[in-house]
A = this chain, B = another copy of it.
Amino acid sequence: MITRLEAFAVPGLPIVGAGDDLAALVTGALAASGDAPRRGDVLMVTSKIVARAEGRFAELSRVTPSAAALELAREVEGDPRLVELVLSESTGVSRKRRGALVVRHRLGFVTANAGIDLSNSAPPDAAPGSGPWALLLPRDPDASAERLRRAWRPDGALAVIVTDSFGRPFRVGTVGAAIGVAGLRPVVDHRGELDLFGRTLEHTIAARADQLAALSDLVAGQSSDRQPVVVVRGVEFAPVDDASARELCRPLDGDLYA
């Protein structure tokens, strides 16, 4: 049971580019403030900073849209080069209409524009006049999270979550969602526990990694390059080595809104 937790942004991180050692940058920034990744910490890392370190930049002027992308772009009135990138990252379209393209990402979740970002998306060494630039999501966020976890604690005694901001059906505004997880079970199943009156609890699968992602989104702020790494202390969890953000993705055939 959690009784108290704290969350803080890692201060003073630079703008990250392809090939930068994110783990070392965070460790250095924490050390400068007299801190370090600790046993039991959950380190929340935005997809954007992970993607930048992985060099997931795409210059739109170098993208050649397929026929399918051209047709879909006409339908949603979007940039065909962006639509091409979206399709290349997706396994299917969930909803489309003018100005909106929601897809099932190759990583399993459903999100607008396959999570491709057009803000703060240029590499630090972009030539003047180049672009516009897009930034794709990390290649394998679970693996990225696991690499960071081991870099920070070779004994694996902390957890790492890669987050993105998702829009949602029915509700206004974005919240954080976990798209990569290492070191902690992303879903907590309380089924079988008894409630205060001895009845079996219902509705008792909590999306813990998404709860944490929402918290870190709140702290990271919106222009998330500014505070892209958030440390959460006080979460009690049993370390695991087989976590995946895919545990948070409901199968298509079990979804009322597929």
Q: Residues of A at under 8 Å CB distance from B?
A: 1-9, 11, 15, 95, 97, 100, 102, 109-110, 112, 117-120, 122, 165, 167-177, 187-188, 190, 193, 195-197, 199, 201-208, 210-215, 217-219, 221-223, 225-227, 235, 247-250, 255-258
Across the interface, which residues of B come within 8 angstroms of A97, CB to CB? 256
Contact present for B197 and A222 (CB under 8 Å):
no
Q: 15 A-B pairs, CB-CB below 8 angstroms?
A: A1-B221, A2-B9, A3-B9, A117-B202, A119-B199, A169-B255, A173-B206, A174-B205, A175-B175, A175-B206, A175-B211, A195-B225, A196-B225, A206-B218, A211-B217
Q: CA A49 – CA B11 in complex, angstroms? A: 38
Across the interface, which residues of B come within 8 angstroms of A188, CB to CB? 173, 222
Q: CA A177 – CA B210 in complex, angstroms? A: 12
Across the interface, which residues of B come within 8 angstroms of A177, CB to CB? 171
Contact present for A119 and B223 (CB under 8 Å):
no
Contact present for B255 and A193 (CB under 8 Å):
no
Question: Which listed residue, B187, B195, B218, B258, touches A211 by the CB 8 Å rule?
Answer: B218
How many copies of this chain?
2
Task: Report the minimal beta-carbon distance from A139 to chain B, rounded to whole angstroms.
Answer: 22
Contact present for A172 and B197 (CB under 8 Å):
no
Task: Report the minimal beta-carbon distance from A177 to chain B, rounded to whole angstroms.
Answer: 7
Q: CA A211 – CA B173 in complex, angstroms? A: 10
Question: Which listed residue, B170, B203, B227, touches A110 by the CB 8 Å rule?
Answer: B170
Q: CA A83 – CA B156 in complex, angstroms? A: 47
Beyond A195-B119, A201-B119, whether A3 also contacts B211 by CB under 8 A is no
Residue of B nearest to A131 (CB): B197
Q: CA A22 – CA B201 in complex, angstroms? A: 24
Residue of B nearest to A111 (CB): B170
Q: CA A44 – CA B205 in complex, angstroms? A: 20
